[in-house]
Amino acid sequence: MTGIPTNQLVRRPAARFFWLWAAVWLFYMAGPVIDAWHRPEVWERAVGLAAGLGFCVLYLAGFMWARREMRETGRPPSLAQATLRLAGLVALATILTLLVGESGLTALVYVAVTAVFSFPPRAAWSVVFASAIVAGALPRVVPGWDRSVDLTFAVMVAALAVWGVTRVVQRNAQLAEAREEITRLAIAAERNRFARDLHDLLGHSLTVVSVKSELAARLVQLAPERAEAELGDIQRLVREALGDVRAAVAGYREMSLATELASARSALDAAGIEADVPVTGEEVEPERRELFAWVVREGVTNVVRHSEAKHCWIRLGRSTVEISDDGRGPKGPELAADPAAGPAGHGLNGLRERLGAAGCALSIGRRDGGGFTLRASAA
C-alpha cells in the first residue's frame, strides 16, 4: 500500500462495486425476461431470453462506461460510441417487445436513462421524449394491450433523476480539475518565489564575496592586516549567505532596510566605488522598508557587478528609492528592445514582479550626466 494516495484507497472499493448499484435497478427487467421464458415456442424463448439478458448486459456496460468518462472528463462520452450503444439497446428492446408484448416496453425506461447519461442535453432529451411518447402511445394502438399501462411517467421521472445525477458528476469533475489547477498554480508561484529570493540573496552575496576576494588578493603583500580584515568579512558574508538560503528555504526570510544600506556601503567600498548612502531608512514608510531593502540589494549588486562606476548614490523618500551611478550605463544586451520595459536580466525582472505584487512600479534608464538609474516608487 506504500505510495498509493489515501483518497484512492478509500474510493477504489466503492468504484469496484458500483456496478451493483446500477444492476439493482435492472430488477424491473425481470418481467420481460420471465415472459420470454414462458413463450410456447423454443425459438421464441431462446431469442427472447437472449434479447432480454443482452439488453441488461449492454445497459450495465454502457452505464459504467459513461460514468467513468464523466468522472474523468466531466463531459458525456464519445457521441459515436454512445450512439452505437443506444442503437443496440433500441434494437434489443424492439425484439423483446415484439416477442413478449407490452411488458417489453419497460426497456424504454433504460433507453431514456442511457440517453441522458451518454448524450449532450438536446440529443438526450429528444430520445427521452421519443421514448415517453412510444411508451404512452403503443398500449393505446396495439390490439389486446392494456391501455391502463402507461410508462410515460416512469420514463420521465427516471430521466429527470439521472439528469440530476449527471449534473452532480459533471460538477464534481469540474471541481476536481479546478483544485488541480489551483494546486499547479500554487506550486508554480512558490517555485518562482523561491527562485527569485535565491537569485536576489546569492547574487548579492557572491558578488560582494568576489569583489572582496580580489581586493584581499591585492592587499596580501601591500597591507596584510587589511587583507586579513577583508578575509574575515568574506567568511562573515559566506555564513550570512548560508543563513539567508536556509531562511529562504524555510519561507521566513525577512529583509532589513538599515542592514541592506550598511551592506551596500561595505560592498561599494570594497569595489572602490565612492558611496553616498543614507545611514538609516527611517524616512521610508514602515510598510515599504522590507520591499525597498530588496531594491537596494539588487540595485547595488548591479552597480558593483556591471557599472564600472566611480560613484554611487542611494536616495530614499517616503515611498521611493533611487539608486544611480556614473558608470557606463545601460547599453548592449543589458537594455531591452523597449527601453521603457527595462533590462531583460533575471534579477531586475524578478524585482519588477516583487514590486508589482506590492503595488509599486520599477523604472530604469540612463542618468543625466551618464550612468544608470534604478527607481522604485508607489504606483
In SS3 terms, 45-68 reads as: HHHHHHHHHHHHHHHHHHHHHHHH
Measured distance CA(198)–CA(270) in Å, rounded: 23
Candidates 224, 356, 222; CA nearest to 295 is 356
Would you say 103 and 151 are in contact if contact means Cβ atoms under 8 Å apart?
A: no
Give the per-residue pLDDT at 95. Answer: 92
Would you say 300 and 267 are in contact if contact means Cβ atoms under 8 Å apart?
A: yes
Give the per-residue pLDDT at 117. Answer: 80
Predicted confidence pLDDT, tens digits, the chain (379 residues): 334 343 433 344 444 545 555 666 777 788 888 888 888 888 988 998 999 899 988 888 887 887 777 666 656 667 888 888 889 999 999 998 888 888 888 899 889 988 888 888 888 899 999 999 988 888 888 887 876 667 888 888 888 888 887 777 778 777 877 787 887 877 777 677 667 666 666 666 777 777 778 877 877 777 888 777 878 877 777 777 776 666 665 555 567 888 889 888 888 887 888 999 998 888 899 888 988 998 998 898 888 888 888 999 999 999 999 999 998 876 544 444 333 334 445 678 878 888 888 889 999 888 888 889 999 998 7
Would you say 300 and 323 are in contact if contact means Cβ atoms under 8 Å apart?
A: yes
Give the per-residue pLDDT at 11. Answer: 43
Would you say 253 and 244 are in contact if contact means Cβ atoms under 8 Å apart?
A: yes
Half-sphere exposure of 269 (CA within 13 A, CB side): 10
Measured distance CA(269)–CA(217) in Å, rounded: 16
Give the per-residue pLDDT at 92. Answer: 92
Measured distance CA(60)–CA(56) in Å, rounded: 6
Give the per-residue pLDDT at 312. Answer: 93
Measured distance CA(189)–CA(251) in Å, rounded: 13
Reported pTM: 0.46
C-alpha cell at 202: 546569492
**280-288 — which CB contacts under 8 Å span 24+ positions?**
281/257, 281/316, 283/316, 283/317, 283/318, 284/257, 284/316, 284/317, 284/318, 284/319, 284/321, 285/318, 285/319, 288/319, 288/358, 288/360, 288/378
Percent of the chain that is helix, strand, coil (3-state, to 5):
75, 10, 20
**Side chain identity at residue 366, one-letter code:** R
Measured distance CA(303)–CA(311) in Å, rounded: 10
Candidates 180, 155, 175, 169; CA nearest to 66 is 169
Would you say 12 and 45 are in contact if contact means Cβ atoms under 8 Å apart?
A: no
- List the domains of the chain with CATH numbers: 6-181 (no CATH), 191-378 (3.30.565.10)
Task: Tell me phi and psi for residue 361, to 5 degrees.
Answer: -125, 150
3-state class (DSSP) for residue 223: coil
**Buried b or exposed e, range 266-305, using 16+ CB within 10 angstroms:** bbbebbebebebbeebeebeeebbbbbbbbbbbbbbbbbb
